[in-house]
């Protein structure tokens, strides 16, 4: 299991290694690590992975995929080289429907850029179309659900992939 923590820079990069102990250590790191930056640049991350030229069968990308910079070209190149599964984190507080506001607007602040924008509800961003266009299996993981729900969703994706591979033979 290899592991990269990236924001707008690569903060941690651990090349793939085998072993249960390594896997547990890296999963613990995911749980406790606090990034130095609040910004996101997925293009830089995807390019860094390609430059590292790692030998990997499967790459999971755990992100909310909210970024002010476009990343579709870099994701396309990454998915041509590796089998990629986006794990899309969704926080219900970011997409909650706000009550109708009659004649008013709410100021929202982008936590990455610090910029404010006005609107009557939070912006909903979906990369579903991009993932489907690239032929990527993706998993939507809600932050308000427990690990049992996450595991169930991952198992469904792996079962679907296994069935597809059997049909291709």
The token duo for 138 is 């993706």
pLDDT band at 125 (very low <50, low <70, confident <90, very high): low
pLDDT in tens, 26-63: 888 888 888 898 888 899 889 988 888 888 778 999 88
Q: Phi/psi zone of residue 135: left (φ > 0), alpha (ψ -120 to 50 degrees), beta?
A: left
Half-sphere exposure of 162 (CA within 13 A, CB side): 6
pLDDT digits over 127-150, tens only? Answer: 889 999 999 999 999 888 888 888
Output the six-digit token pair for 148.
Answer: 């049992």
């Amino acid at each position: 299991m290899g592991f990269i923590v990236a924001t707008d820079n690569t903060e941690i990069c651990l090349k793939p290694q085998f072993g249960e102990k390594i896997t547990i250590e890296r999963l613990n790191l995911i749980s406790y690590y606090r990034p130095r930056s609040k910004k996101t640049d997925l293009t830089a991350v995807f390019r860094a992975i390609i430059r590292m030229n790692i030998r990997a069968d499967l790459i999971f990308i755990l992100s909310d995929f909210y970024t002010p910079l476009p990343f579709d070209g870099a994701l396309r190149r990454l998915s041509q080289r590796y089998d990629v599964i986006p794990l899309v984190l969704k926080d219900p507080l970011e997409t909650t429907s706000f009550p109708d506001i009659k004649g008013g607007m709410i100021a929202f602040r982008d936590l990455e850029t610090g910029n404010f924008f006005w609107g009557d509800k939070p912006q909903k961003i979906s990369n579903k179309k991009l993932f489907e266009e690239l032929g990527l299996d993706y998993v939507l993981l809600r932050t308000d659900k427990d690990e049992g729900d996450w595991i169930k969703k991952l198992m469904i994706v792996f079962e679907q992939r296994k069935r597809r591979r059997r049909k291709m033979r």
